[in-house]
Amino acid sequence: SNKENAENLIAVDPGANFTITQEEIETILPILSKCNILLVQLENNLNAVEYLISQSYKQGIKIILNPAPYQKISSEMISKVNIITPNEIEAELMTGIKITTIDDAYNASQILHKQGVENVIITLGNKGAYLSSTDGQFHIPPYPAIPVDTTGAGDAFNGALLAELSHGVKLIDACLFANAYASCAVEQKGTAFAMPVRKIVVEKMKTYSVQPIRF
């Protein structure tokens, strides 16, 4: 991370991540059939991700796609996704809209909806997150945080979102929790070791009354 502003700077060497085969994916399909939600990122070769999404879609599994690190993906692939969670840069690369305001996030979300995705969550860094869903449009304000290292903030948000949804929490409430979770994660240095335990997040949510703003 940048010591002056805590912003992240990541270099990726994909190595074996880009050599996943269809046969390897088929070995996990029996496990997949027992799942109700799948979270996928783009840190693997695209044909492997597409195959996993198509197989999950056939089984009626809800799919969350975090399009990071960014790779160009087809509208056909996007249309099989229930929730897509780009950050501001990824949303701009996917839609051509530079996101500096909530209006920009709204406009970008509408383009993604037209490609067939039901729910769009655009993470906005220190501005919180934007949710465009079947229940409406919402700005989810940020929780207060003193950032030390923002590396892994997106992973924190997506992991927390998945965990909440897997327990039957409504999407808007899952977004609120994920926002709080990410705000706790950035207050620690590192990635995996910076992920907070649930108790810390719940305490922060009790301390600060952050509510979604219908847009």
Q: Is residue 169 part of a domain?
A: yes
Q: Is residue 184 part of a domain?
A: yes
Please check whether residues 159 and 176 belong to one and the same domain: yes
The domain that holds 95 is classified in CATH as: 3.40.1190.20
Helix axes 102-114, 88-95, angle to 10 degrees: 50
**Residue 1: band (very low, low, confident or very high) from pLDDT cuts 50, 70, 90:** very low
What distance in Å separates the CA atoms of residue 130 and residue 93, rounded to the nearest whole number?
Answer: 17
The tokens for 178 are: 């994920």
**Can you give the pTM of this predicted structure?**
0.90
CB 161 within 8 A of CB 85: yes
pLDDT of 101 reads 96
CB 1 within 8 A of CB 149: yes
Where in the sequence is the domain holding 179, given as residue range(s)? 143-210
pLDDT of 117 reads 96
**13 carries an active-site annotation:** no
**Residue 12: band (very low, low, confident or very high) from pLDDT cuts 50, 70, 90:** low
Mean predicted confidence (pLDDT) in 111-135: 96
Instruction: Report how far apart, in Å, the C-alpha atoms of 191 and of each of 43, 155, 159, 182, 188 are.
Output: 16, 9, 12, 11, 8
* pLDDT digit string, tens, across residues 144-185: 998 888 888 999 999 999 999 999 999 999 999 999 999 999
To the nearest whole number, what is the mean pLDDT of the chain?
91
Annotated catalytic residue within 104, 135, 155, 173: 155
**Residue 193: band (very low, low, confident or very high) from pLDDT cuts 50, 70, 90:** low
Mean predicted confidence (pLDDT) in 117-121: 98
Closest listed residue to residue 135, CA positions, set 36, 45, 75, 214: 214
CB 25 within 8 A of CB 48: yes
Q: Is residue 11 part of a domain?
A: no
Give the count of domains, the chain: 2
* pLDDT digit string, tens, across residues 15-62: 787 888 899 999 999 999 899 999 999 999 999 999 999 999 999 999
Q: Which of 79, 113, 134 is the last residue of a domain?
A: 134
Q: Which helix (H) or strand (E) holds 94?
A: helix 88-95
The percentage of the chain sitting over the pLDDT mark of 90, rounded to a whole number, equals 80
